[in-house]
Structure 1
């Protein structure tokens, strides 16, 4: 398996578990949102902002984000749509990136103004692992979605999408 194939599979996995988590949050939103629910949305918004920052970095573009956290969190419906759009962008990007592009080192600016330098492959790995960390954090904030959060493992995704892998 090539790094490009693996990264594309990881971003398909990310999109799948993001969908499951967002659906679970939508179901919980019908109840009066708690402080934990609002905290969970804030965490997801942070993860999404980082995803968007790295979309710009991967393209060698500047961005307008002054921080990776926001004092204002969009409503869940808007955040869900934005996360799903960004997940699709990453799936498309990783489906067509070449080995030479993945190895290319890109200079960028962090939100604090500091300079950074990473390969595109490292940036993509960061986005995947960063998102997984924060999905787990949401699962800890909202025990009501624990059954969804517990399914957030790559092996589970592979077995759901390709049952022949499970013996």
Structure 2
């Protein structure tokens, strides 16, 4: 499997699971579980903010952010729409790259001003692992609010979208 195929699958999974977290967040009783709702939303905002930072690095454009979260917390609907737009950008970006471009080294500045250098593939892998890690934390806040988190599994995504993978013929 090539880097482009693997990363395409991972970003497809990300674009599929992200809205499910917003679906579950909408089920949280905001009066009874205000803190859990707020904390889950702040973590989702952090994921999105970091995704924006890395998209800027990948584009070679300033992202205009000075930290890994924003001072203001967007509404769930606004953040959901922003996630969808950026998830679509990442999918298009990954699908547009040649295998050689995944090895391209990009220099950038972290939000604290320190210099960094990573391959495009490493940056994309970071976006995937970072979001996955923090979606787990969102799931913990959802559980505290008595709302089950989505089943955030690559295997679940692959088998739902390619049911022939469930064939007993191997």
TM class by shorter-chain length?
A: over 0.9
Asked whether the equivalents of residues 103 and 119 of structure 2 are also in contact (C-alpha less than 8 Å), the reply is: yes
Higher helix share: 1
- 3-state DSSP of counterpart to 2:12: helix
The count of corresponding residues between Structure 1 and Structure 2 is 164
For the residues of structure 1 that align with 2:160 and 2:59, how far apart are their CA atoms? 32
For the residues of structure 2 that align with 1:35 and 1:94, how far apart are their CA atoms? 36
For the residues of structure 2 that align with 1:7 and 1:102, how far apart are their CA atoms? 10
**Normalized against structure 2, the TM-score is what?**
0.92
Q: What residue in structure 2 maps to residue 145 of structure 1?
A: 147
- 3-state DSSP of counterpart to 1:28: coil
Q: Please list the CA deviations of residues 91-119 of structure 1 after superposition, one character each: whole Å capped at 9, or x if unmatched.
A: 11111111221110000010011111100
Asked whether the equivalents of residues 25 and 142 of structure 2 are also in contact (C-alpha less than 8 Å), the reply is: no
The aligned runs of 1:3-152 (5 Å cut-off) are 3-28=3-28, 31-32=30-31, 34-143=34-143, 144-148=146-150, 151-152=151-152
Instruction: Could you list the structure 1 runs, at least 4 aligned residues long, displaced by more than 4 angstroms after superposition.
Output: none
Asked whether the equivalents of residues 24 and 142 of structure 2 are also in contact (C-alpha less than 8 Å), the reply is: no
Cα distance, 1:147 vs structure 2: 4.6
Query: 5+ residue gaps in structure 1?
Result: none
**Normalized against structure 1, the TM-score is what?**
0.93
RMSD (Å) for aligned C-alpha atoms = 1.3
For the residues of structure 1 that align with 2:95 and 2:147, how far apart are their CA atoms? 31
Query: 5+ residue gaps in structure 2?
Result: none
